[in-house]
Amino acid sequence: MARKKELTKDERILREEKRLRKSYKDLPKDKMQVVDGLIRRAAYMRVTLEDMEKDLDENGFVEMFTQSEKTEPYERERPVARLYNTMNKNYQSIIKQLSDLLPKDDPKNDDENDGFESFVSERA
């Protein structure tokens, strides 16, 4: 069975950018300039978070640490765990900003044009 080629980080980032851009293809040009930077940051963060998750799954969130050979080692949070938590929070914030920029479906228009009026006028 052939193994699928592992994508580089840059290739994975480009793939994520393309995936995100599909949702914003119909935005006006002025909004797209804002969205473009957010998409690039979000794609980078998502791929980096995935890499960090893999590391955390393999090595855990804590490690044994000691200042010197004379002191007892103790358990501490791994630096990557703290970075992961911070980046994840920032990623969620960017995704929220991007979601807020998506065109909203207007439920009022859907209710107004539900076909009832045309049905009634046809019957009259």
How many domains does the structure of the chain reveal?
1
Residue 123 lies in a domain: no
Non-local (6+) Cβ contacts of 24 within 8 A are 32, 35, 39, 98, 101, 102
- Domain span at residue 38 reads 9-102
Domain for residue 114, yes or no? no
Confidence check: pLDDT of 41 > 70: yes
| 51 occurs within a structural domain | yes
The pTM (predicted TM-score) of the whole model is 0.75
pLDDT tens digits for range 15-39: 999 999 998 888 888 888 889 999 9
The confidence score (pLDDT) of residue 103 equals 73
Which tens digit of pLDDT belongs to each residue from 58-77? 999 999 998 889 999 999 99
Structure tokens at 39: 């998409």
